[in-house]
Structure 1
Amino acid sequence: MAEAVRWGIIGTGKIARAFANALKEVPGAVLAGVASRSQDKAEAFGAEFGAGASYGSYEALVQANDVDLVYVGTPHPQHAENALMALRAGKGVLCEKPFTMNLREAEQVATLARSKRLFLMEAMWTRYLPAYLEVKRILASGEIGTARQIVADFGFAAAFGPEHRVFNPELGGGALLDLGIYPLSVAAGLLGPVSEIRAQAVMGPTGVDVQTGFTLKHAGGGMSVCSCSFLARSPAELTVAGELGQVRMNTMFHRATSVTVKLADGSERTIETPYLGNGYVHEIVEAQRCWREGLLESPAMPVGETLALMGVMDEIRRQIGLTYEADRPR
């Protein structure tokens, strides 16, 4: 069996719990430690998931000798600070999306990782799912012709109070960073780099976007039309169309278990694409593969692409008038 990879988790919220659950199903993965700003929360989380150690500070975890890779699962505005802390301690990092609050922060993290020659990867878990990989295979085969257009949406009715994370600007709230990044990342992964951007939004009472739509031109000549919403429960499907037909990642595209191909000749077929566990298993397997092979980033989600997409979101936010504390000049 391959050498075990010893994970440390920073954060004990919902996303960290999903990650810890997935770790249990990954061969060769060990939860060496978990950290919270509260010792009690860290110990409760650690006991539930069988962590080797529980720390009452993030600093203590990143300094631990028995941690190889650190998963950053804290609120959005803390991502850059926590990733930099782990990298300075010599640890590889898997950082939850959105990678950081803006491109400036993302470049700081990437520069440090490269200078120290440490592994760095954005935890865009949908880019490793079987459904996404099957769509890439279908596009490469030419079955639907050249991919020309993507239509993708992700929305739900967020019945939370204004203090909730998704509406709170101090916690990086807003539909774009929370939901819009999913269709954006998949569209760019399938159609290539973004060359032009047009965006509109509905802003909520707390000052963050509650519904955003953006149209993208891609360097390869294709276009994508994407939307995200905290106001409407949308189909959450993604369809790629070419001159010979279309392929759809069935509801919900970010956790699709099948894809359907429809061709101009009237034929149709559905391919089952089940994923392992809660879906996070696939990104963990990839991160471990890269770490064991001494890679500094994942070929499936290279750091350069993460930086490019942060730049796209910066421009979308500029067009819709959405700023955060992290955007203030330093």
Structure 2
Amino acid sequence: MSIPFQNRKIRWGIIGLGSIANKFAADLLTIENAELYAVASRNQEKADAFAKNYHAKKAYNSYEALAKDSNVDAVYIATPHALHKENTLLCLENGIAVLCEKPFAMNALEVNDMIAKAKEKNVLLMEALWTYFLPHYQYVLDLFNNKTYGNITKLEADFGFERPYDTSSRLFNKELGGGSLLDIGIYPIFAALSTLGLPKNLEAHATFFENGADSSCSMVFNYSNNVKAYLKSSLIQTLPTQAIFYFEHATVKINTMFHMPTTVSIIKNDKETIKDFNYNTIGYNFEAIHFNQLLMDGKTESDIMTFAISQNIIKMLDTVRQTIGLNY
């Protein structure tokens, strides 16, 4: 891996070429100091088509072949959750920096193995929880941290959409980590952890599909001073998909599809002010720009999406799963 990339662009690879990979690749094209160099799928035809669409130089029909390409500086892993650990370790072993799609892995043990390997190899590793890097979310975090509207008193965050039950879809495949919690419940949980931190305790209730994957999950995170976070994910009900922070002197609402580029409403004295962040990309470029800077600086861990934050997220996902009786 060449550092500090003074005279050339950072060469990216993508492993797993589904819908999220398409979005990431599209936004990667907007970044000046990066290029999509190689892509990998188990299907050569799919890899060739993807490479053509996004101007990648190499298209591989195996993840191993991409990982062994010494020209690849960084890899975005966009495979199903159950493959994240295996794919991450493969790339780290070959000295390639890894940006791995959320959830980082299936459980805390897997996440710890990935982090340990990154430290052993002294190679950059980061969970791709893109929301953290979006300007509107950073704006709300600043309001929270600066206590602009006083202390927080309550948080409500949800993420839900109705999708026909289809066991052939990764979304419903329990063995691949399908179900509402790992796929979309992570976002409301992240909203709580990134502001309020780890709760004193939690309550959780879920409904399940016939194959055992969770169809919905409702959670309450309990904090000191009687502050509560009410969180929900669902694949059987369309929810507002908002994050609402109730402060002493105002309510701050990240509007619909809060996890992706959107607007923020400030409601104070019965007056609503909407802040528009004028996004002109899908939003994946912000995490990629941060990751590129880490690479150029020779860093092996993000100072924003730290290992500790990823470990806290998976710890809470594990705790919720244990509470609702969901096992993979």
Contact 2:261 2:282 in 1 (8 A): no
Which residue, 292, 309, 319 being the options, matches 1:305? 309
Which residue, 241, 247, 256 being the options, matches 2:246? 241
Contact 1:197 1:216 in 2 (8 A): yes
AA partner of residue 90 (structure 1): G
Instruction: Determine whether 1:278 maps to 2:277.
Output: no
SS at 2:308 equivalent? helix
Displacement of 1:49 after TM fit? 1.1
Cα distance in 1 between the residues matched to 2:239 and 2:89: 36
SS at 2:32 equivalent? coil
Contact 1:9 1:73 in 2 (8 A): yes
Which residue, 269, 276, 280 being the options, matches 2:273? 269
Cα distance in 1 between the residues matched to 2:294 and 2:280: 19
Displacement of 1:193 after TM fit? 2.8
AA partner of residue 185 (structure 1): F
Identity of aligned residues (%): 37
Cα distance in 2 between the residues matched to 1:50 and 1:192: 41
Instruction: Determine whether 1:130 maps to 2:135.
Output: yes
Tell me which residue corresponds to 1:71.
Answer: 76
Displacement of 1:39 after TM fit? 2.0
Instruction: Determine whether 1:321 maps to 2:322.
Output: no
Which digits, 9 at most, give the CA deviation of each residue in 1:187-231, with x for residues without a partner? Answer: 211222333221110011111100101111347974311000011
AA partner of residue 156 (structure 2): V
Contact 1:194 1:312 in 2 (8 A): no
Tell me which residue corresponds to 2:230.
Answer: 225
Change (3 A) 1:52 1:322: same
Instruction: Determine whether 1:199 maps to 2:191.
Output: no
Which residue, 112, 115, 121 being the options, matches 1:116? 121
Tell me which residue corresponds to 1:287.
Answer: 291
AA partner of residue 228 (structure 1): S
SS at 1:295 equivalent? coil
Change (3 A) 1:193 1:221: farther
Change (3 A) 1:283 1:13: same
Instruction: Determine whether 1:98 maps to 2:93.
Output: no
Structure 2: unaligned runs, 5 residues or longer = none
Which digits, 9 at most, give the CA deviation of each residue in 1:27-73, with x for residues without a partner? Answer: 21111100111222211211121111111111111111111111111
Q: Which moved more, 1:161-170 or 1:315-324?
A: 161-170
Change (3 A) 1:6 1:218: farther
RMSD (Å) for aligned C-alpha atoms? 1.6
SS at 2:31 equivalent? coil
Displacement of 1:299 after TM fit? 1.6
Q: Which moved more, 1:154-163 or 1:278-287?
A: 154-163
Contact 1:182 1:254 in 2 (8 A): yes
Change (3 A) 1:4 1:175: same
Cα distance in 1 between the residues matched to 2:260 and 2:216: 21
Instruction: Determine whether 1:155 maps to 2:131.
Output: no
Report the count of equivalent residues: 323
Contact 1:37 1:57 in 2 (8 A): yes
Which digits, 9 at most, give the CA deviation of each residue in 1:165-196, with x for residues without a partner? Answer: 11111221110011100111122112223332
Tell me which residue corresponds to 1:328.
Answer: none
Cα distance in 1 between the residues matched to 2:256 and 2:123: 36
Change (3 A) 1:192 1:143: same
Displacement of 1:247 after TM fit? 0.5
AA partner of residue 307 (structure 1): Q
Cα distance in 1 between the residues matched to 2:91 and 2:172: 28
Tell me which residue corresponds to 2:257.
Answer: 252
What TM-score do the two structures reach when normalised by structure 1?
0.94
Structure 1: unaligned runs, 5 residues or longer = 325-330
Cα distance in 2 between the residues matched to 1:67 and 1:234: 40
Cα distance in 1 between the residues matched to 2:88 and 2:161: 30
Instruction: Determine whether 1:33 maps to 2:38.
Output: yes
Moved over 6 A (4+): none
Cα distance in 1 between the residues matched to 2:227 and 2:9: 42
Tell me which residue corresponds to 1:14.
Answer: 19
Tell me which residue corresponds to 2:188.
Answer: 183
AA partner of residue 293 (structure 1): D
Contact 1:192 1:219 in 2 (8 A): no
Change (3 A) 1:155 1:134: same
